[in-house]
Chains A and B, each alone.
Chain A
């Protein structure tokens, strides 16, 4: 099926069906792994990629007689997240048991917050790539345990279970059904990720499964009430979320237009085929037999605790972006790019401070050059090398030094690029590279005057042509002088001296 999608009448995203446009209604449940040293209810470590079953306590393996003890740090992280999303913090919340059998669920139940979540309603503003802003409501955030991992492909007859993830703390961040397009869904997840990373409550690493989403999709005729939704489970990248939404919405439109009805069900998205398939229908849905977890007391938060969480929050991405625009005079584009990721912003701020200090100028005067260099040269290089900013071979202070060398004329643009290439390879400081390899720009008038004299002497015919009015040859002489200097000559100085010599 190739139903094209178009912009609808009111600028809303729609899918064009046989019977006209269809609107999408999307809600996301994002499962974010809480950044903490130990699990939600045990002291076992949470590090990613450890040997199977090496981070499992007696509690995580649900040995007889074991009891959960709530990890206060995970609660603080959920509260910090709630505060960052402008959400209500519930002073009283409670854990429930969600009962079902699976080999990687040792207790036979997941401890979760079904009825009384720790965080209530909030909202975030998101902006799509085309600059459209919209507000997405947050329904709730609750804490819950992750399950282990079943591995079915190591043996033809056996399944293996790795309990390292068993008991790891997750925040389930549930949005309201406020999202109307795959672009908004992507922007919402991106913005959420950027906030969680900025405040350090989730590393946002979707490849490692630290963030994944259940996507609820329904379609309706514009203005009609909500349709029946389907839930697409466990989608683990922004791209897949967007693809899954499009594919699922198209499927629903096809069914509805051919006179069918949508069955409420849980589906899975296969990125290979770009299709969703049914996992289980509502009728087959588990009866989870939720009831209050009797091994834990209700969670009661004091005002002091909430105040401490609030005080520990760093500047949030939206505030940071506004500050970059207002106080550093960066363009909305640059401010947006630099604040989208907390690591990037941290890197930029070190670069900026160092660059300003070395040049003895206020930050506002050097901010744009620093931002342009970072988003241009540095991001380009990292992209080519397929490296994260955290793995950058060049440090922000080295970047600051490079910018200072450009600003004071030691390095020309082309020379700076050459030096930067070497920095990426050797991790040396730019000043040392320029010194050791003689890559400094030559502004010494004496040496350049000699070079100019030599060039003019070697090209008497061109000189004659120039003098007879062929002005364009000025560029030729500049090129020759630059060549003679091995590219190191300061072009401004060359220009000036040449003009004098040719006058």
Chain B
């Protein structure tokens, strides 16, 4: 592994600025790493030409003193972000061959800042999954393995390509999207940091929709500072997204502060679930101690509707998805299957039957069901009411604390195929991440330690609306004390 791929994003920036290496050298090293890591199946499309062209432009800009903040930084882009002229499929067969004529607002911002795109990252189909096993183009294999084992593990999901690529040092950072935990859980599974900002911080324009009221782009990188740098470049008001927040983007990275003096950190009682892995419980306690050490006051808080969050999520998200995915009908783009002599309805059935995978179909059916006449009140409407109660829980908690500290996921990464037959077990992965999604709050996962098998575990920090700074600061404080330096062994 070349040393250039080990650098943090911040170190890459300073190295480029100091002329220690060129953007071309930096990007080339990553292009090679991407090629060498094909067994991980992290990339659906490799775009070395895009990356190298951006690198050359960055070198010229660095020389001319006109370089953007991400000039020459090699990134991976989750394949949920539309990229102009580059195939974008959301890991679905139904969009096979689809090349958008437009860039998402987020990728446009990243490219304008000088970033080099190495390629499009694998994910669960339409971001529906927690293990990256629902991709129509095969699962992503985590670069991590348990001590002394050669069993393939999942990288988490749905941003599994992003988590695998960042932790395997294939890119400096990656974009992710988080609907119910799709940034935080894979970050925890692969020993990296990942932040989902406040709903509305990053534009959803050009991001293929899963569940509109929950979807939020975010950043994944190997440490908190890199996440801050990345998120800054991705965020900002976008008049093309009516749900985007019209607020200035703070300079999170420059203001990053590891002291928690004067901060009150809440520990939600209801997150202490029965049968919790003692190692996870110990790590959580460790996190509490680190927070105290950083000057925080620890308070116990209650989020009484936590138990209802997961069922609420699995009504709201599929409901929106069932409608959002109606546009994949074979009429205008993507795959079309026309049975001979068939009607329009036959075309829809054949196209969608062949184009969508099992998990996507399951969620479309659940979503269609909960919105149906006669069931709407009992499911969708009830779920919306509970969602409001969950948001209220957090508002009450903010009366006694500034941030919340919880585990990110109930377990470490599991084996490929271990849960794919049991959707409920799979959905339980999101139990700690879903409440913040339902409330639209900023939340991040930081790598906090390894379990007895040598697999990463993450801690989650949840903040008040628009307080990404508080979340990042707390993440930074914990990360400094955790001293997490573990990296996957290069086996691929």
Contacts and interface: CB of A to CB of B under 8 A. Distances in A.
A107 B207 CA distance: 15
A102 B101 CA distance: 24
A261 B243 CA distance: 49
A48 interface: no
A287 B323 CA distance: 13
Interface string B309-329: 000000000011011011101
Contact of A62 (B243, B320, B332, B380): B332
B400 interface: no
Interface in B26-80: none
A109 B204 CA distance: 19
Interface residues of B, number: 44
A503 B209 CA distance: 100
A291 B380 contact: yes
Contact of B90 (A61, A64, A67, A97): A64
A64 B376 contact: no
A65 B207 contact: yes
Q: Is the interface of A mostly helix, strand, loop or mixed?
A: loop
Interface in B357-388: 368, 371-373, 376, 380
A396 to B, nearest CB: 43
A66 B380 contact: no
A278 interface: no
B242 interface: yes
B326 A109 contact: yes
Contact of B344 (A61, A63, A159): A159
A69 B243 CA distance: 10
A67 B204 contact: yes
B128 interface: no
A105 to B, nearest CB: 9
B15 interface: no
B323 A99 contact: yes
Contacts of A159: 344
A433 to B, nearest CB: 57
Contacts of B205: 65-67
Interface in B214-256: 239-243
Contacts of B344: 102-103, 159
A99 B82 contact: no
Given A64-B100, A64-B208, A103 B333 contact: no
B331 interface: yes
Interface in A60-113: 61-70, 97, 99, 101-103, 106-109
Given A65-B205, A67-B205, A287-B372, A294 B320 contact: yes
Given A69-B240, A69-B242, A295-B242, A64 B326 contact: no
A473 interface: no
A68 B244 CA distance: 12
B240 A67 contact: yes
B326 A99 contact: yes
Interface in B175-230: 204-209, 211-213
A289 interface: yes
Contacts of B204: 65, 67
Given A289-B372, A294-B213, A65 B82 contact: yes
Contacts of B243: 294-297
Most chain B CB inside 10 Å of its own CB: which residue of A64, A66, A101:
A64
B329 A101 contact: yes
Contacts of A68: 242
Interface in B87-106: 88, 90, 95, 98, 100-102, 104
A102 B371 CA distance: 19
Interface in A6-64: 58, 61-64
A161 B373 CA distance: 30
A99 B206 CA distance: 22
Interface residues of A, number: 30
A159 B101 CA distance: 25
A106 B331 contact: yes
Interface string A291-323: 100111100000000000000000000000000
A99 B368 CA distance: 10
A157 B98 CA distance: 25
B348 interface: yes
A101 B100 contact: no
A291 B208 contact: no
Given A101-B329, A106-B327, A63 B213 contact: no
B368 A295 contact: no
B98 A61 contact: no
A159 B239 CA distance: 36
Nearest to B211: A294
Contact of B95 (A64, A103, A291, A296): A64
Contacts of A103: 329, 331, 344
A107 B240 contact: no
A420 B126 CA distance: 70
A159 B331 CA distance: 11
Given A101-B348, A294-B320, A65 B209 contact: yes
A97 B331 contact: no
A285 B239 CA distance: 37
Contacts of B242: 67-70, 295-297
Given A101-B348, A294-B212, A289 B323 contact: yes
B326 A101 contact: yes
Contacts of A69: 239-242
A97 to B, nearest CB: 5
B87 to A, nearest CB: 12
Interface string A314-339: 00000000000000000000000000
A70 B371 CA distance: 24
A295 B241 CA distance: 8
A108 B326 contact: yes
B329 A64 contact: no
A289 B376 CA distance: 8
B212 A295 contact: yes
Given A101-B326, A296-B242, A297-B243, A63 B100 contact: yes
A97 B367 CA distance: 14
Nearest to A163: B332
A101 B330 CA distance: 12
A98 B90 CA distance: 25
Contacts of A102: 344
A64 B327 contact: yes
Contacts of A66: 205-206
A312 B130 CA distance: 55
Interface string A148-159: 000000000001
A107 B212 contact: no
B297 to A, nearest CB: 36
A106 to B, nearest CB: 6
Contacts of A297: 242-243
A100 to B, nearest CB: 9
A65 B326 contact: no
B316 to A, nearest CB: 9
Nearest to A161: B331
Contacts of A295: 209, 212, 242-243
A478 B372 CA distance: 86
Interface in A268-299: 287, 289-291, 294-297
Contact of A65 (B104, B211, B319, B371): B104
Interface of B: 81-82, 88, 90, 95, 98, 100-102, 104, 204-209, 211-213, 239-243, 319-320, 322-323, 325-327, 329, 331-333, 344-345, 348, 368, 371-373, 376, 380
Interface of A: 58, 61-70, 97, 99, 101-103, 106-109, 159, 161, 287, 289-291, 294-297
6 nearest interchain CB pairs?
Answer: A108-B326, A289-B371, A294-B212, A294-B213, A65-B206, A62-B327
30 contacts: A61-B332, A63-B332, A64-B88, A64-B98, A64-B100, A64-B208, A65-B100, A65-B204, A65-B206, A65-B207, A66-B206, A67-B241, A69-B242, A99-B322, A101-B329, A107-B326, A108-B323, A108-B327, A109-B323, A289-B323, A289-B371, A289-B372, A291-B320, A291-B323, A294-B212, A294-B213, A295-B209, A295-B242, A295-B243, A296-B243
